[in-house]
Amino acid sequence: MDVKTVDGVILKEGKWYYTDNGQAVILDKILCDTDLNNMFLVTPIYEGEAMGCSGDGGCHSEYTVDYECEGMPRIVNCLFKKEPLAKLGEEFKAKQKELTDIAIAIGSMKSGLKDTERAKKEVLDSIEKVKRDNAQLFNQNEMHKSTLEITINETRDARQKLSELEDGCEVYDQANELKEIARLRKIEFKMQCLEACGVDNWNFYDVSLSEYSKRYPNG
């Protein structure tokens, strides 16, 4: 945007001007403060002091240019028009608001990213805790499984031993029963034979039995 004096002189950045004391300066920037109450023409030599401007658009120039010196533009008692100043102020305010909105948006984005990172960390921590708990339960289950296998093997061995003992006792009992039956049958057979053949002396049964044994050695 062009900034003009009342007499129509356009102030341009990068142009040379003379001060009232004949010093040549180059216009570096045209700036306004944050309150838009003052406008400054900034030079490399006297930064911020080239020109002060009031809020109503009028200003007093500390720097004037002698138009007779090398044909440079003349700036005497420079007054800025209100319209350029107002437009410049509006642009500044709009740009300031835009930058503020961008800063707020960036801040909100950073805050959102922090919240997202925090939530992500909480989820990852929860997953790690579940993994640790599952690993602990797995180890406990493995221990219980091992203990159960040992108990099952011991029970199986005990049952096998008990079965062997029962089988042994049964065989032993059967053998004793057979022996007893054979003994009783033998006695019965002997008694039948004695009764059939007669007993010489019942009072001395052992003597008769001995005689029977002599007669029937295989009986």
- Residue 107 pLDDT: 80
Residue 23 domain flag:
yes
101 is a domain residue: no
Interatomic CA distance for residues 21 and 11, integer angstroms? 19
In a domain, 184, yes or no: no
In-domain check, residue 124: no
Instruction: Report the distance separating Cα 159 and Cα 161, nearest Å.
Output: 5
Decide if 138 is inside a domain. Answer: no
Q: Compute the chain's Rg from CA coordinates.
A: 64
Neighbours of 52 (CB within 10 A): 15
Q: Find the domain containing 19 and state its range.
A: 3-80
Count: domains in the chain: 1
| Structure confidence at residue 183 (pLDDT) | 74
Predicted confidence pLDDT, tens digits, the chain (219 residues) = 555 554 566 767 777 665 545 555 566 665 554 544 444 454 443 333 334 333 333 333 333 333 233 333 333 333 333 444 455 556 767 777 888 888 888 888 888 788 888 888 888 888 888 888 888 888 887 887 888 788 788 777 777 777 776 666 666 667 777 777 777 777 776 666 666 665 555 554 565 566 666 665 555
Query: Which of 76, 83, 81, 28 is closest to 58 using CA atoms?
Result: 81
Would you say residue 137 lies in a domain?
Answer: no
162 is a domain residue: no
Is 50 a domain residue?
A: yes
Q: Nearest-CA neighbor of 72 among 60, 80, 81, 63?
A: 63
pLDDT value at residue 184: 74
Rounded Cα distance between 190 and 219, Å, is 7
